[in-house]
Structure 1
Amino acid sequence: MMESMGLPVPAEACIITASLYCLKTHHLAIQGVAFAAIAGAIIGDNFGYLIGRRVGFPLLQRYGPRMGLTHDRLILGQYLFSRHGNAIVFLGRFVAVLRVFVAVLAGACRMRWPEFMVFNALG
């Protein structure tokens, strides 16, 4: 959940460790680990979206140029999320670095929440 909120946490390592623990000890059900991973990803992305929606764009305007995000690039980002946001969110679930930031960026770029929720859950 924390990775999906925008914090670079090694979620894959946690899931693999929990899966191996299930295999070796039989103290956890693998279905529970899978459910927790899916629910954590969806809930974390929604929190990340809300964070981006509330404070994301003003922060990107203020501190973005330090990271190479000029005003023109922010406008381009808004355009891309309005035009191709569904594909960005869906495919972003499969790319490790993008997965950390896609929810916050979708919120900051004002992507519509119902579309975000559907394509986030599908991813």
Structure 2
Amino acid sequence: NHDGTLRGKEEIRDFWVRGRVGLTLRVPVEEMYVAENHQGVAILWMAYSQIMEEDDENYGKWNSFEGMSRLEFNEAGEVTLEVDYHHGPQGIVDSWVEHWEKRRAMDWKELGAITGA
């Protein structure tokens, strides 16, 4: 977690490296919407980060949380704006793959029903 805005590639990389999250982060995309002018996208995703602290009772398991990102691009295809929204952890799962496959099999109306809890 962090407060404020991360600006530039280095700040973003440093954030992920500090928490060791980037080593185990999985972010499969659930849905993607493309802007009419093709200058931006909105992405609904589910994220999983493996618990790496050996003294944690859930060591090796996965935190799960869902969210949405808005990305805008310049003419060169570079990201000029990224805004991420998520409410925080939804639970802990043994296998991110198993959890993801269960989500994919559900009707869209049921998606809020499966958390890691």
**TM exceeding 0.5:** no
- Does 1 or 2 have the higher relative contact order (CA < 8 Å, sep 6+)? 1
Determine which structure has the larger helix proportion and give its number: 1
With structure 1 as the length reference, what TM-score do the two structures score?
Answer: 0.23
